[in-house]
Structure 1
Amino acid sequence: MRRLAAAGLLVAVSIAAHACPPSEWPRAQLEALKASQWQLADAERRTRLAFDLLPCLASPDPQLRDQLAFEALQTWLRTGALTSATSRELGVRLQDMLSAPDPDGVARPFAMLALAEVVRDDRLRGVWTSAERDATLTRVAEQLRAVTDYRGFEPGIGWRHSVAHASDALMQFALNPALTREQLDRILAAVASQVMPAGHAYVHGESERLARPVLFVARRGLHSTEEWRQWFTQLTKAAVPPGEPASLASLARVHDVKGFLMPLYIAAQEGGPPELRERVLPGLVSALRALP
């Protein structure tokens, strides 16, 4: 892991030194490649381009960042067009971007969104060792806890969506059967830390995205009905402290926790197996009824 960290420092310099779009791939060529559904027969060129597109995840241009760079990486990772070794190295570089300077506020959330695709690839192909997987989970959970930039969509620059993108990465972890109960508990703790950010009401779908990893943790069946009841009760108590008068801050908390609990309720009630409903619904229903 120390070697990976040292490599990451070198990667930061490498990423910062590269232009977006890459000199070898002008924008028109990237758009043509997109039109071909990212078909690039030369595996060596494809791998090199995957790395060369990383600086574009920091671009304030939403087409370069989202529709070209991220879409290319997602497509290649989801279709197995990149080797496990390449996927693993992308994970190293993307994690380094999480702590790199981000003047436009887009590099970290899009590095996280791309990292979610590597987490998915690891779930399917075993890209990381168990120690590397655990370290990455810790990094993602810490990144979600540390989010203070709650900007979502902005005309001209597109999405930032830090909370949603970190939630996507945690969802991919929660889907991995290799994760232990203790690791799932870390996911739940990280999610709970952002269900009701101080003084902010979510309006860009963040609550639903936060709910997804919790749903898949619940599907693992490693927590009892009573444990879920306690977890949901803690949220409602934080949302509505006894004796606190109504305020804009309290209204925001209630808005956010309802936006988080309702998608979980619908998913468990309408689409979940009976055992999921038995475990989760009693606590969910009690929590919803406790809210004004």
Structure 2
Amino acid sequence: MLTEQLKELKEMTDNEIDRMDKVDLVQRMLASIGDQDPELRDHLIYTNFAKLITEQHLTTPFMADILDICMDDDHLFYRIGDKETDAVFTRSFSALVVALILNEDVKGRFLSEAKAVEACENAVRYLLEEQDLRGFEEEKGWAHAVAHGADLLAVAVQHPAVKKESFYPKALDTLKHCILRENGVYTNEEDERLLMVIHYMFQRGMDPSLLEKWVDSIWTELQDKKEHGWSNEYFHMRRNITTFLKSLYFLPALIESAPDCREKIVAYITNDLKSLYQL
């Protein structure tokens, strides 16, 4: 039984893992990656993928094969566009495995340049196409598709295969798409996971002026939405934007690199509060 085998795997020594046949086990893990049982999906399948990948128990060709599977239409893009269905668990946890493998390639290149670029581009595509915004489901555990997609994009922006001058604006546009959602409010710290994408872009030398223009564009979108009336969609968008900007204000990289952007955030949110509540 897969559950029992994975429980045993968590307790195995490195030597025991290296002696076992992992191909069949990994294939069964991939087949159940989106299982509705949170114990199997999250605490056993994902954590054992993390163990096998980060502790280098899999060959690099095998990891490349796993990456291909996780990025296909039966995994990362499985029923993409669905809302409120269990398909989200397959997509979301496939994103985490892609992130694990791509991060190993950041540390020591083994993927082809084309495959690495494809994985980075798929990080963008996934967040643009994912429609299920649920965080935690009481009986089925974490869906967290946006957060897991953010984790993947945070790895992608660090990858040496991407060209910063073209990929960073694309990554910011993707974050903007996520933040400007009107069909739901993020409640499970998705804003902080999205924030990590900006953190790593700053670490790799992003021009602060690029972020300033991006903040301006987000705020303009909110004001345009406000012109159409105080709808439920407007307040969803406002909540997501202001929560994100408040978190962005405290990002250490922003404090160090973009003081003007921080001042702009303060001005925008202060003026918005004064306008909304007639202060």
Give yes or no for TM over 0.5.
yes
Residues 284 and 174 of structure 1, relative CA distance in 2, 3 Å threshold: farther
- List structure 1 runs of 4+ shifted beyond 4 angstroms: none
Of residues 144, 148, 160, the one that matches 1:165 is: 148
Residue 123 of structure 2: aligned partner: 140
Distance 2:104 2:172 in 1: 22
Question: Under a length normalisation based on structure 2, what TM-score does the superposition of the two structures give?
Answer: 0.85
Residue 63 of structure 1: aligned partner: 39
Q: Does the residue aligned with 1:128 lie in a helix, a strand or coil?
A: coil
Deviates more, 1:201-210 or 1:280-289: 280-289
Residues 285 and 126 of structure 1, relative CA distance in 2, 3 Å threshold: farther
Using the TM superposition, give the Cα deviation of residue 65 of structure 1 relative to its aligned residue in structure 2, in angstroms: 0.7
Letter in 1 for 2:115: E
Letter in 2 for 1:265: Y
Kindly indicate whether the alpha-carbon contact (under 8 Å) linking 1:202 and 1:256 is maintained by their aligned counterparts in 2: yes
Of residues 277, 281, 290, the one that matches 2:258 is: 277
Kindly indicate whether the alpha-carbon contact (under 8 Å) linking 1:218 and 1:280 is maintained by their aligned counterparts in 2: no
Kindly indicate whether the alpha-carbon contact (under 8 Å) linking 1:240 and 1:291 is maintained by their aligned counterparts in 2: no
Of residues 178, 187, 191, the one that matches 1:207 is: 191
Using the TM superposition, give the Cα deviation of residue 87 of structure 1 relative to its aligned residue in structure 2, in angstroms: 1.4
Residues 244 and 76 of structure 1, relative CA distance in 2, 3 Å threshold: same
Kindly indicate whether the alpha-carbon contact (under 8 Å) linking 1:208 and 1:259 is maintained by their aligned counterparts in 2: no
1:26-41 matches, within 5 Å, as 26-36=2-12, 40-41=16-17
> Considering only aligned residues, what root-mean-square deviation do their CA atoms show, in Å?
2.4
Kindly indicate whether the alpha-carbon contact (under 8 Å) linking 2:92 and 2:149 is maintained by their aligned counterparts in 1: yes
Distance 1:132 1:146 in 2: 20
Residue 111 of structure 2: aligned partner: 128
Residue 217 of structure 1: aligned partner: 201
Q: Does the residue aligned with 2:199 lie in a helix, a strand or coil?
A: helix
Tell me the alpha carbon deviations over residues 166-198 of structure 1, each in whole angstroms, 9 at most, x when there is no partner. Answer: 100000112234432211222111111111212
Distance 2:265 2:203 in 1: 15
> Is 1:196 matched up with 2:180?
yes
Q: Identity of counterpart residues, as a percentage?
A: 21
Of residues 97, 100, 103, the one that matches 2:78 is: 100
Letter in 1 for 2:232: L
Distance 1:239 1:29 in 2: 50
Structure 2 unaligned spans of 5+: 274-279
Deviates more, 1:246-255 or 1:111-120: 246-255
Distance 1:140 1:217 in 2: 15
Kindly indicate whether the alpha-carbon contact (under 8 Å) linking 2:116 and 2:161 is maintained by their aligned counterparts in 1: no
Distance 1:158 1:38 in 2: 30
Using the TM superposition, give the Cα deviation of residue 116 of structure 1 relative to its aligned residue in structure 2, in angstroms: 1.0
Using the TM superposition, give the Cα deviation of residue 154 of structure 1 relative to its aligned residue in structure 2, in angstroms: 0.9
Distance 1:144 1:165 in 2: 9
Distance 1:220 1:43 in 2: 39
Question: Under a length normalisation based on structure 1, what TM-score does the superposition of the two structures give?
Answer: 0.81
Letter in 1 for 2:45: A
Distance 2:129 2:93 in 1: 16
Distance 1:273 1:246 in 2: 33
Using the TM superposition, give the Cα deviation of residue 120 of structure 1 relative to its aligned residue in structure 2, in angstroms: 0.7
Tell me the alpha carbon deviations over residues 4-31 of structure 1, each in whole angstroms, 9 at most, x when there is no partner. Answer: xxxxxxxxxxxxxxxxxxxxx5422321
Using the TM superposition, give the Cα deviation of residue 112 of structure 1 relative to its aligned residue in structure 2, in angstroms: 0.9
Letter in 2 for 1:202: Y
Residues 152 and 222 of structure 1, relative CA distance in 2, 3 Å threshold: closer
Letter in 2 for 1:73: F
